[in-house]
Structure 1
Amino acid sequence: MLAVATTLDNTLGALLIGTLIAACLYGLTTLQTYIYFSRSGEDSALLRSLVAFLWILDTVHIVLISHTVYTYTIIDFGNFAALPKPVWSMVAQVIVMGVSDAMVRGIFCHRIYLLSDRNRVLCGINVFLSIILLCQNIYLCTKELELDTGSFSTFVPLFYANMSTGVAADAVIAMTMTWLLMREKSNMNFRRTNHVIHTLVLYSVSTGAFATMVFLGCLISYAVAPHTSIYVAFLTNLSKVFLNSLLAALNSRQAIRAQMAGAADMLSVPHWQGTNDGLDSPKEKMEVPGTLDLAALRTVNSTSSGSDFTTRGEESAV
């Protein structure tokens, strides 16, 4: 394979493009966070606090990226020898990204725990991968601060391991949630319910697919051009893609509940499902974002032979 020559286009240029994309995604994160808080009055204080803290981390992340670009393009302007050396803000933003991603994965793991009827093994696999990825991020960042330019090759295998773990963690989360939802769909013969579950499956797949594609882009670009900054353009946007996926899932709950307005007594598209594990609202049970009250649906399905929900009754809380 021919080596890719190092130029300003694929070093500072790639870093600048990645920062511009990150700024756009930060704007989208801010908009989605505003929409969430305008609709989340019935969510628990803990969930609202987690979303607020994730937005703060995302703000710190974009500030650190901007500092990195400023350092390379203004402070070290014309100093090409400074390009291979890591700036402290570049290392710090990877740690912030790792913490943010771990929190988002933790929320998705909690969803898996509830959807799987509290299957600790299934949830534990996803938690284990998330913890391993966070530890790898912190270890690589601390070691990178000690590196000189010539010794970075020592940590190339660890970098590949870190990216591979990221791909595996996101793919496993998406596949697990998809399998759990499809399992519920196979137990039901209601068209409208299956349509909503199909929508939830699409959200689950897209959540892991976007993050996995960014991880793969980072991994492939580094493998093809390790002496450039092309992979950094992907790396700086990992946490923003993942966070926006979570916020999209949270903000979609109202639209999904509206789809089921004709069967309000038979369906519950809750705010966030939970148990007395620290994620409950003091006034009402917190429920999985964008998911159905699947236990109630299985009961209805076992006692009804219709092809759609037609019974009306007491309005359910959604």
Structure 2
Amino acid sequence: MSSGLTLAASLARGQLIGTFIGLILYGVTCLQAFFYFQTYVDDRRGLKLTVALLLALETVHAALTMRLMDDYLIVHYADETVLESATWFSSATYIIGFSIDFMVYLYFTWRIGSFTENICIVVLMSSIATSRTAISILACVLSVKSTSWMSFLEHMKPLIITGNVLFVVGDMLCASAMAYYLNKRRSGMYRTDLLINRLLIFAMGTGALTLLVDIVALILVSPIIIRQNHFRTQQLCSRR
């Protein structure tokens, strides 16, 4: 296998698998949106517009991921220069993904604030959401200006680690706050407590899954940066 094909397999396989999984989840999102508009016809217009906007962003995101894979694997097949660097397609794809995450997190923040009336937790969660989204978008823009992915990881490691840590902290705070305040709402009545138990299972389940993905991302990114620094140190030592 040539070096170009090996590079294509090592760099694009993960993105291709992620695209497949993302498109499956996009189908689930479309189904959920359809059921929402069919079932909750009396919801406020603001909520309906939010769902419609999220579905539109998910559609654009799905289209961009397919276009990105076409650019990497078809148009620039085995082109090492393209495979090793970010493009505006990849940057736009990630930016839309982070924007979707920002909107969803703000919705959870609003829900927590509405039944807790705790302004401090709302401000804290909003600050974390804004900070991690701003850092992520900045990283996307800077990745395009870097000569390669490895150069980007080498020079932007504090930014990348900070962003990943904020995702972990933010999702942990969201799940913990939701579970804590739901548990405080127990009234001793069987039906009410049963409903709260179901909500707790849902909140902790989705929160744990999101947190697990954040931690895995942080674990996977850190060794890459460490290996890159180790490789650079070896190069400097060999030159001496």
**Pairwise TM-score range, normalised by the shorter structure:** 0.7 to 0.9
Distance across 2 between alignment mates of 1:204 and 1:121? 21
Residue 225 of structure 1 and its aligned partner are, at CA, apart by 4.4
Equivalence for 2:170: 169
User: Alignment partner of 2:145: what SS?
Assistant: coil
Equivalence for 1:191: 190
Counterpart of 2:164, as a letter, is: M
Equivalence for 2:3: none
Q: How high is the TM-score relative to the length of structure 1?
A: 0.66
Q: Is the 8 A contact 2:85 2:144 kept in 1?
A: no
Higher alpha-carbon deviation: 195-204 or 8-17 = 8-17
Residue 226 of structure 1 and its aligned partner are, at CA, apart by 5.7
User: Alignment partner of 1:189: what SS?
Assistant: coil
Equivalence for 1:210: 209
Matches within 5 A, 1:214-225: 214-225=213-224
Distance across 1 between alignment mates of 2:30 and 2:225? 33
Residue 191 of structure 1 and its aligned partner are, at CA, apart by 1.9
Higher alpha-carbon deviation: 148-157 or 105-114 = 148-157
**Cα distance change on mapping 1:8 and 1:142 into 2, 3 Å:** closer
Q: Is the 8 A contact 2:8 2:78 kept in 1?
A: no
Equivalence for 1:100: 100
Distance across 1 between alignment mates of 2:10 and 2:195? 44
Distance across 2 between alignment mates of 1:9 and 1:181? 46
Distance across 2 between alignment mates of 1:70 and 1:212? 31
Equivalence for 1:89: 89
Distance across 2 between alignment mates of 1:67 and 1:220? 28
Distance across 1 between alignment mates of 2:204 and 2:74? 41
Are residues 1:147 and 2:146 paired?
Answer: yes
Higher-helix-fraction structure: 2
Q: Is the 8 A contact 1:57 1:96 kept in 2?
A: yes
User: Alignment partner of 1:42: what SS?
Assistant: coil
Q: Is the 8 A contact 1:86 1:144 kept in 2?
A: yes
Distance across 1 between alignment mates of 2:111 and 2:162? 27
Equivalence for 2:127: 128
Matches within 5 A, 1:1-318: 7-116=7-116, 118-149=117-148, 151-152=151-152, 153-185=154-186, 188-225=187-224
Distance across 2 between alignment mates of 1:63 and 1:88? 14
Counterpart of 1:62, as a letter, is: A
Residue 94 of structure 1 and its aligned partner are, at CA, apart by 1.3
Q: Is the 8 A contact 2:168 2:211 kept in 1?
A: yes
Deviations 1:197-219, CA, capped at 9 Å, x for gaps: 01111111123222212222222
Counterpart of 2:162, as a letter, is: A
Counterpart of 1:35, as a letter, is: F
Residue 182 of structure 1 and its aligned partner are, at CA, apart by 0.6
Q: Is the 8 A contact 2:171 2:210 kept in 1?
A: yes
Deviations 1:183-202, CA, capped at 9 Å, x for gaps: 112xx211221111011111
Q: How high is the TM-score relative to the length of structure 2?
A: 0.86
Distance across 2 between alignment mates of 1:89 and 1:76? 13
Counterpart of 1:219, as a letter, is: L
Distance across 2 between alignment mates of 1:70 and 1:216? 30
Distance across 1 between alignment mates of 2:7 and 2:223? 15
Q: Is the 8 A contact 2:26 2:58 kept in 1?
A: yes
Counterpart of 1:26, as a letter, is: Y
Residue 106 of structure 1 and its aligned partner are, at CA, apart by 1.0
Unaligned 5+ segments in structure 1 are 1-5, 228-318
Distance across 1 between alignment mates of 2:61 and 2:19? 11
Counterpart of 1:86, as a letter, is: A
Q: Is the 8 A contact 1:167 1:212 kept in 2?
A: yes
- Figure out how many residues of one structure are paired with residues of the other and give that number: 220
Residue 23 of structure 1 and its aligned partner are, at CA, apart by 0.7
Counterpart of 1:181, as a letter, is: L
Moved over 4 A (4+): none
Deviations 1:210-262, CA, capped at 9 Å, x for gaps: 221222222222234469xxxxxxxxxxxxxxxxxxxxxxxxxxxxxxxxxxx
Q: CA RMSD in A?
A: 1.8
